[in-house]
A and B are shown apart, each in its own frame.
Chain A
Amino acid sequence: MSHSEPIEKNCVGPDAEYVKLISSDQKEFLVKRTHAETYSKTIKQILSGPTNCSEGETNQIEFSQISSKVLEIICNYIEYKAQCEIIMEKGEEIPEFDIPLEEATDVMMAASFLQC
């Protein structure tokens, strides 16, 4: 995930390209909003909720239960899945997505929550 300035701007407002996910240890991750919404039903529900994404506000979701390590894996997965779509269209071999063993159960719980 890139943390550069221009992207930061893009997560403000209802039409923002990115969404900011904040882990329990206050690390911030930016993912493309379309990807996040496509590959996580939970994120989509949160973002489509009434309280979020009003004008001038940053699109951010805080996950008080998800550590930065896990959240990073989730963000990676979202991007991976987006990549896979492209690869599949091309008809190429799909790479494996690897999850570090020590995080597996935590990722599983988070993924279960996020429905991704």
Chain B
Amino acid sequence: MHLHFERNLNAKCDCSILSLTWMGKVPDELPEDEGWKLSRTNYYQEGWLAAGNVRGIVGVTFTTSHWRKNSEFPLRTNYNLRGHRSEIILVKWNEPYQKLASCDSSGIIFVWIKYDGRWSIELINDRNTPVTHFSWSHDGRMALICYQDGFVLVGSVAGQRYWSSMLSLESTITCGLWTPDDQQVYFGTTSGRLIVMDVHGAMVSQIQLCQDFGPIVSMAWSCEKFKMEENESDTTSPYHNRGFVLAVCFKNGNILLMKSFDDVSPIQLQTGLLGVCIEWSNSRQLLAVAGTKASTVPSDSQTNVLQFYSDNGVLIHSTAIPYRQSNVTALTWGHNDKRLFIATGCQMHIAWVSTRIASLQMLSGLKTHMQLKSESQVPALPLPPRIRVFLSNLFAQTIRVSECYLPEINQMRQFVSRPPSKNFRLYCTMIRHDEDTNLTAGTCYTLYLEFLGGLVPLLKGKRTSKIKPEFVIFDPQVEETELLDVTKLRLNDVSPNGRLTSDSSDSDMDDGCASPRVQMRQRRCRRAHEKRDLVEIDDLTYVDILPEYARLVQVTSNIWGTKFKVHGLAKSLPENLGHITYKTSLLHLQPRQMTLVMTELGDDVVLGPDPNFNPHLFSEDEDEAASEVDQRSLPLTDLALPIAPMTPRPAGESRRLQQQSSRSSRPSTKATENSASLQRAPSSLPPLCGGEPQTPKHTVAPREDLPSEPSTSMRVKSSIKVASQLDEAKEQSRTKRREKQACSHKQAVSSLCKEEEAAAAAAVAAGAVTAPGRGPTVVNPSTYSILLDPMVRSCSVGYLDLVDLTLNSHGPLGDPADAPPKRLVLVHKKEQPKPKLSNCGKSKSFDSSEIFPSAERKKQARGNANMTFQKSQVTRKPVQKKEVEQTENKDLKAEDHVFVNQNDGLASSATEHNNHTSRLPHSSPASPALGKKKRNQSPLRSFALDCRRHLLNSPLLSRRVWKNRNTNESSDDEVACPNEEVINGRNFRDLETFQKAQLRQKLRKGKNDPPSVPAAARHREFVMHNKAPMWNENSQVYQLDFGGRVTQESAKNFQIEFRGKQVMQFGRIDGNAYTLDFQYPFSALQAFAVALANVTQRLK
């Protein structure tokens, strides 16, 4: 036979692995009635390796024996299962039932089951007595549990107890197992006795094995772990105990091979090893034995040896395990005997095993392979392509969680500054270290990737200001030139500390990290630079090995901790990485609302300084204004300053040209011309922008540059007008009409603003700043004002909010000198104007009016959109898509009546949503991030709600408004987004313009050859919002589904949505530990920055 160890530096955990178990991966689809019918060879190519460690975490990690990366990965390749509160002594798959049992040292047994992509605890068994062993029967139907006190129990896989017995022995049962036919159970004791009982619990025999061998440590039958073939289940088949060999392993390293319990002449193997782990291969020919060579000379390094015995006791192969710093702790076969997983403390070794003699090609290939540092060197070798392929195949990793999951040590920076490739999600844990900073003030946070039950440090952040919640994130990668020294961290120094004591795992994890760290820290300080040994990166896994001398990213904040900017400090990063804005919340009664603007990081990202980005400049005032008057006046000043100086067109000429050309390419010029200049304004928006439906208030307020004053006042006026109109006209029909008027009026105003804004945007060359969603959004405030007069003021509050957001988003981007950064700013969720203290009640109700079960809203919006589209015979793709949902939507509409007046408020967001979803290819974050079920939160709210219901309660009204908006959108699309099938929100003055637009659109569609996207779209930003939690009436809490990843309630928990999909979630799992999961468009840096910004207490 032949065996070699895979070079897999990443296969390690951050603490000792105490148990391993492997099973083949079944397809994700549900089995048919009979279960999975899988061919063994194929089935065992991929599998799941479960590892239980001293921190009480069970890692379930995907493994594959495919040579190449062409294999498909499951969507999630690693699970760190939390739940145990002490070290896990045993993990055992139940392959027939696809369950996992894990036992911890306190005696708690969990049976995990995978459902809907997540592992959850199905059964808990706790007898308050430590468990010594656990074993599934070979058919998977029964479980045998041995307790330290001599109690043994046989139960069903479903948790039912069949029998139990208290064996009064002078010794302890150390292991128990089923005979191959599942008719008997054997127990081994510390006194070297073998106890045999039958399947019903009757004692069969007790045999004293060689007395001088000492305690029995483990036993194993040379049969397959599970009977996977049905026809072999009866006892007459080869599964009868005959032919199988029982290996009984003693503490002194001797192994007895017995044909049955009463075998009078067992074969005795003297392995010469201590701490032996054994397991038979599935083919029952090979007994893998791993242990530490017993040596008389005490030395700090042991020799770990792996041996293989045949079932007649012949040593077939023996090899040293290339790791000396820790004893062998666990071992398991996998991949149908092609792989052997061995854990030595934290380190995992994977042996490729072949029962045949290796070919010369393999041997020489391996020799060459060992000389290469990485796979990237292979192409440079003067070899024929076929051999190169062969050689690079040797680099294949069995634990290959995915191409992009685990970073190479020399690619850390790249790894953290790029979003994971599409659809792959990184599952991370963030831990706060308070106590460890002995040198500098400031709390440290470390972001770890979850892997193999452990945590791989990715990034380290430190709070830099005592006053403001500001952070710096350090560069995780040490430059080669800076590597001066080698510090080898011995992981086994650490692991004892990593053991759990009594309380929860994460804090302990922290403690575990802490003590070695302090020393390390000091040492490191002296040495200034720490080298990570590229070959033996033991230290990768430990907390503070992350360097702290190069800053990568800075998170700056305003004094209130409500606004943050993520500032790239390294050359490899753009200066503006994004910003975060929190809505202030009165007394934190409402769930947090945050808006993220994230720069997309890709290989083509625009690097270098961004003169317009000032990480320390925050528009602080918006929310502060105490009086409403102030609120109104503030935006103006705020706005005027930055934007006013920019003159409308000239700078944006090129963009304009583009647009013009694209527009002229359409046969529909007529329509364009006809439509009022107001309508054209939108069309001047850059194509890509597709629209950033910012929140209603946002969108409008900030952009008014030149005539900012007039327009604002106009707007305010108009909204007031609308309000008064509505107030006086309570009849529904009239209201409807007015509303419509109001809308168009609004649109006029807004489009005015838009024009300017577009110009400004162009001038900044930021490209794509649009306001397609704007028309509708503008309406929003007005509807509010309709409801309650004072609402006008809250609108202005909203504006203030907006200002800040837009300023932020403009500032960083808008550098004309920069390459043509295409900016895509998309907003999903409308921002809700913050309630002021003075009109708290009202604003609350106001809020609640906006907040609407998002699903419903979405659907309503879609339904509306559909209606409109159908009417106008728009048959573009997005619409078609929606039509699928349409019927459903219509049904749902019935509910609208109930919430009529909310609809108005909702409309804007709904249409926004619409925009987004329809604008598929270009990031439209369809965030249904709307407060769900917030309405009924307080009596106050519901009261306000009722009021409004009475005020405006025609479903028609709302629908009308929507229609208006939707039509606008669709026409806008045609005007502004030549390059994709997208429907944007845009304002139309009246039906006529709309119809014309529709006509144009149809014509254009005929052309069906959209101009291509400008190639220079390099700098994109995405605007995202957090998902509003659902209010659970029963438990009186806000709820979000974190997929089992979050275990503690916290106001800091959040989820971010992008294009209607949750792309990031953050939640507390312990006092100082949080999970942070993210995927595209977040890079690890950005996600970490957002999390850092989120963990601090804010003042407002």
The segment from B127-135, B203-211, B308-316 found at the interface with A is: B308-316
Known: A91-B316, A92-B314, A93-B316. A112 touches B371 (CB 8 A): no
Task: Please state if B387 and A112 are interface contacts (CB–CB under 8 Å).
Answer: yes
Task: Please state if A109 and B383 are interface contacts (CB–CB under 8 Å).
Answer: yes
Task: Please state if B371 and A104 are interface contacts (CB–CB under 8 Å).
Answer: yes
**Binary per-residue interface labels of chain A (91-116) against chain B in the complex, 1 for a CB within 8 Å, 0 otherwise:** 11110010101011101110110111
Task: Please state if A105 and B359 are interface contacts (CB–CB under 8 Å).
Answer: no
Considering the chains assembled together, what is the distance between the CA atoms of A88 and B354 in angstroms? Answer: 14
Considering the chains assembled together, what is the distance between the CA atoms of A66 and B1007 in angstroms? Answer: 65
Within the complex, which residue of B312, B357, B387, B391 is in contact with A81, where a contact is CB–CB below 8 Å?
Answer: B357
* B508 CB → nearest A CB, Å: 44
Task: Please state if B357 and A108 are interface contacts (CB–CB under 8 Å).
Answer: no
User: Which B321-361 residues sit within 8 Å CB-CB of chain A?
Assistant: 357-361
With a CB–CB cut-off of 8 A, which chain A residues contact B364? 99, 103-105, 107-108, 111
Task: Please state if A109 and B360 are interface contacts (CB–CB under 8 Å).
Answer: no
Considering the chains assembled together, what is the distance between the CA atoms of A112 and B386 in angstroms? Answer: 9
With a CB–CB cut-off of 8 A, which chain A residues contact B357? 81, 84, 88, 94
With a CB–CB cut-off of 8 A, which chain B residues contact A73? 360
With a CB–CB cut-off of 8 A, which chain B residues contact A91? 310, 312, 314, 316
Decide yes or no whether A74 CB sits under 8 A from chain B: yes
Considering the chains assembled together, what is the distance between the CA atoms of A97 and B360 in angstroms? Answer: 9
Known: A91-B310, A92-B314, A93-B318. A109 touches B367 (CB 8 A): no
With a CB–CB cut-off of 8 A, which chain A residues contact B1013? none
Considering the chains assembled together, what is the distance between the CA atoms of A88 and B359 in angstroms? Answer: 16
With a CB–CB cut-off of 8 A, which chain A residues contact B363? 77, 97, 99
With a CB–CB cut-off of 8 A, which chain A residues contact B310? 91
Considering the chains assembled together, what is the distance between the CA atoms of A88 and B390 in angstroms? Answer: 28
Within the complex, which residue of A74, A81, A93, A114 is in contact with B315, where a contact is CB–CB below 8 Å?
Answer: A93
Q: How many residues of B contact A (CB 8 A)?
A: 26
From A109, which residue of chain B is reached at the shortest CB distance? B387
Decide yes or no whether B381 CB sits under 8 A from chain A: yes
Decide yes or no whether B384 CB sits under 8 A from chain A: yes
Task: Please state if A77 and B360 are interface contacts (CB–CB under 8 Å).
Answer: yes
Known: A104-B368, A109-B384. A94 touches B360 (CB 8 A): no
Task: Please state if A104 and B317 are interface contacts (CB–CB under 8 Å).
Answer: no
Task: Please state if B387 and A94 are interface contacts (CB–CB under 8 Å).
Answer: no
Q: Is the interface of A mostly helix, strand, loop or mixed?
A: helix
Task: Please state if B318 and A107 are interface contacts (CB–CB under 8 Å).
Answer: no
Task: Please state if A111 and B361 are interface contacts (CB–CB under 8 Å).
Answer: yes
With a CB–CB cut-off of 8 A, which chain B residues contact A112? 361, 384, 386-387, 390
Considering the chains assembled together, what is the distance between the CA atoms of A92 and B390 in angstroms? Answer: 30
**Binary per-residue interface labels of chain B (945-987) against chain A in the complex, 1 for a CB within 8 Å, 0 otherwise:** 0000000000000000000000000000000000000000000
With a CB–CB cut-off of 8 A, which chain A residues contact B371? 101, 104
Task: Please state if B316 and A105 are interface contacts (CB–CB under 8 Å).
Answer: no
Task: Please state if B317 and A94 are interface contacts (CB–CB under 8 Å).
Answer: yes
From A100, which residue of chain B is reached at the shortest CB distance? B367
Task: Please state if B387 and A108 are interface contacts (CB–CB under 8 Å).
Answer: yes
User: Which B367-403 residues sit within 8 Å CB-CB of chain A?
Assistant: 367-368, 371, 381, 383-384, 386-387, 390-391
Known: A91-B316, A93-B318, A111-B361. A105 touches B383 (CB 8 A): yes
Decide yes or no whether B365 CB sits under 8 A from chain A: yes
With a CB–CB cut-off of 8 A, which chain B residues contact A84? 357
Considering the chains assembled together, what is the distance between the CA atoms of A99 and B357 in angstroms? Answer: 15
User: Which B797-814 residues sit within 8 Å CB-CB of chain A?
Assistant: none
With a CB–CB cut-off of 8 A, which chain A residues contact B312? 91
Considering the chains assembled together, what is the distance between the CA atoms of A100 and B365 in angstroms? Answer: 12
Task: Please state if B360 and A74 are interface contacts (CB–CB under 8 Å).
Answer: yes
* B876 CB → nearest A CB, Å: 56
With a CB–CB cut-off of 8 A, which chain B residues contact A97? 358, 360, 363
Task: Please state if B360 and A107 are interface contacts (CB–CB under 8 Å).
Answer: yes
From B390, which residue of chain A is reached at the shortest CB distance? A112
Known: A101-B367, A101-B371, A104-B367. A116 touches B316 (CB 8 A): no
Decide yes or no whether B1 CB sits under 8 A from chain A: yes
User: Which B289-317 residues sit within 8 Å CB-CB of chain A?
Assistant: 310, 312, 314-317
Known: A99-B363, A109-B387, A111-B361. A93 touches B317 (CB 8 A): yes
Q: Which of B363, B371, B391 has the most CB of A within 10 A?
A: B363
Considering the chains assembled together, what is the distance between the CA atoms of A94 and B316 in angstroms? Answer: 7
**Binary per-residue interface labels of chain B (132-171) against chain A in the complex, 1 for a CB within 8 Å, 0 otherwise:** 0000000000000000000000000000000000000000
Considering the chains assembled together, what is the distance between the CA atoms of A77 and B316 in angstroms? Answer: 19
From A40, which residue of chain B is reached at the shortest CB distance? B360
**Binary per-residue interface labels of chain A (59-79) against chain B in the complex, 1 for a CB within 8 Å, 0 otherwise:** 000000000000001100100
Known: A94-B1, A116-B359. A108 touches B365 (CB 8 A): yes
With a CB–CB cut-off of 8 A, which chain A residues contact B314? 91-93
Considering the chains assembled together, what is the distance between the CA atoms of A101 and B365 in angstroms? Answer: 10
Considering the chains assembled together, what is the distance between the CA atoms of A28 and B390 in angstroms? Answer: 30
* B378 CB → nearest A CB, Å: 11
Considering the chains assembled together, what is the distance between the CA atoms of A88 and B363 in angstroms? Answer: 19
From A81, which residue of chain B is reached at the shortest CB distance? B357
Considering the chains assembled together, what is the distance between the CA atoms of A84 and B361 in angstroms? Answer: 17
Task: Please state if B1 and A116 are interface contacts (CB–CB under 8 Å).
Answer: no
* B362 CB → nearest A CB, Å: 8
User: Which B743-762 residues sit within 8 Å CB-CB of chain A?
Assistant: none
**Binary per-residue interface labels of chain A (13-28) against chain B in the complex, 1 for a CB within 8 Å, 0 otherwise:** 0000000000000000
Considering the chains assembled together, what is the distance between the CA atoms of A8 and B359 in angstroms? Answer: 28
Task: Please state if B315 and A108 are interface contacts (CB–CB under 8 Å).
Answer: no
Within the complex, which residue of A93, A103, A109, A111 is in contact with B359, where a contact is CB–CB below 8 Å?
Answer: A111
Within the complex, which residue of B1, B360, B381 is in contact with A111, where a contact is CB–CB below 8 Å?
Answer: B360
Considering the chains assembled together, what is the distance between the CA atoms of A84 and B314 in angstroms? Answer: 15
With a CB–CB cut-off of 8 A, which chain A residues contact B384? 109, 112
With a CB–CB cut-off of 8 A, which chain A residues contact B383? 105, 108-109
Task: Please state if B317 and A116 are interface contacts (CB–CB under 8 Å).
Answer: no
* B346 CB → nearest A CB, Å: 29
With a CB–CB cut-off of 8 A, which chain B residues contact A93? 314-318
Considering the chains assembled together, what is the distance between the CA atoms of A112 and B314 in angstroms? Answer: 33
Considering the chains assembled together, what is the distance between the CA atoms of A97 and B359 in angstroms? Answer: 10
Considering the chains assembled together, what is the distance between the CA atoms of A115 and B386 in angstroms? Answer: 13
Task: Please state if A116 and B318 are interface contacts (CB–CB under 8 Å).
Answer: no
With a CB–CB cut-off of 8 A, which chain B residues contact A88? 357
> Can you list 10 A-B pairs, Cβ within 8 angstroms, ordered by A?
A91-B316, A93-B317, A97-B363, A101-B371, A103-B364, A104-B367, A108-B390, A111-B360, A114-B360, A116-B359
- Nearest 3 pairs of A and B residues by beta carbon: A104-B367, A111-B360, A107-B364
Contacts from B to A (Cβ < 8 Å): 1, 310, 312, 314-318, 357-361, 363-365, 367-368, 371, 381, 383-384, 386-387, 390-391
12 other A-B residue contacts (CB within 8 Å) besides A92-B314, A112-B390: A91-B316, A93-B316, A101-B371, A103-B364, A104-B371, A105-B364, A105-B368, A105-B383, A108-B361, A109-B384, A114-B360, A115-B361
